[in-house]
Amino acid sequence: MLPPTIHTMRRFFMVGGRRLSYVDFGGPGRPLLALHGHYSEALVFAPLAAALAPAWRVIALDQRGHGESDRAHSYERDEYVADVAAFHRQLGFGPVAMLGHSLGGVNAYQFAARHPDKVSALIVEDIGAVVDCDWTFTTRLPGVAPSREALAAALGAAAPYFERSLRQSDQGWGFSFEIADTVASQKALNGDHWDDWISVTCPTLLIHGTHSDELTPEHAADMAARRAVGVHRVELSAGHVVHHDAPDHFAAAVTAFLPGSC
């Protein structure tokens, strides 16, 4: 249950003829903008919003092609970063703290690198400066199922990570994202993003999971070492989705980092 300081509101705005959606978890605290990863959406940050309240007000974007936001014709890097810039303008804030997981982590640090006056502190969850995502996993996801339970069963051990993204339509139960869109997005995410990473000038927290298949401890250490501005690195006993696997420790790490950063 969310604490009384949390009053979740879903809102929408237009960018280039497309509708983007975001969830404002409310409260009196300082804003923390949050960006989810592939297969996910804004509501995945509800537990974190509850843990950070009332000091911090989490506002999370459904990124293009995810959740309640419209699909897009393409999912290139610059387009995601432009969406984040439009999100920031829509909210009307000055410099803010920003958090991103996986896809959202790259979007967050690229936005911070290209708009240093807009980001006061950065939290990157389990994604590297070089990304080599296995998009073939996406092509093996199950299709439409007759019930939520059947879809969850078809997902097997991965089902908990998709919980927020399951949707019912006239055809049955599926996802709040399109398979082809996600493959295109993952292909565009892959590559060397060192230039952006090392250009970030604000204090940064890099959280990674000990069992992650996306970010090795060696690469995380290299990311910290190659940044001129200090990077605080936290390793937690978790897989790639650290905020799901270790929610309390994840929230504690974020809480410990934020007060001295803004």
pLDDT tens string 63-72: 999 999 999 9
For residues 226 and 20, give the distance between their C-alpha atoms in angstroms, rounded to a whole number.
35
pLDDT in tens, 70-82: 999 999 999 999 9
Yes or no: say if 77 and 110 are a contact pair by the CB < 8 Å rule. yes
Give me the pLDDT at residue 85, please.
Answer: 98
Give residues with Cβ within 8 angstroms of 10, minimum separation 6.
21, 22, 23, 24, 68
Q: Hey, what are 27's tokens?
A: 């409260």
For residues 162 and 199, give the distance between their C-alpha atoms in angstroms, rounded to a whole number.
33
**What letter would DSSP give residue 144?**
-
Domain ranges across the chain: 9-129+192-257
Give residues with Cβ within 8 angstroms of 155, minimum separation 6.
141, 142, 162
Give me the pLDDT at residue 7, please.
Answer: 77
Q: Hey, what are 151's tokens?
A: 């879809």
Q: Residue 228 is which amino acid?
A: A
Q: For residue 47, is the peptide bond before it cis, meaning its omega torsion is within 30 degrees of 0?
A: no
Q: What pTM value is reported for the model?
A: 0.96
Give me the pLDDT at residue 261, please.
Answer: 46
Yes or no: say if 58 and 84 are a contact pair by the CB < 8 Å rule. no
From its phi and psi, is residue 241 left (phi > 0), alpha (psi between -120 and 50) or beta? beta
Fold of 9-129+192-257: Rossmann fold (3.40.50)
Q: In this structure, how many other beta carbons lie within 10 angstroms of the beta carbon of residue 46?
A: 17
For the chain, which ranges sit under pLDDT 70? 1-6, 260-262
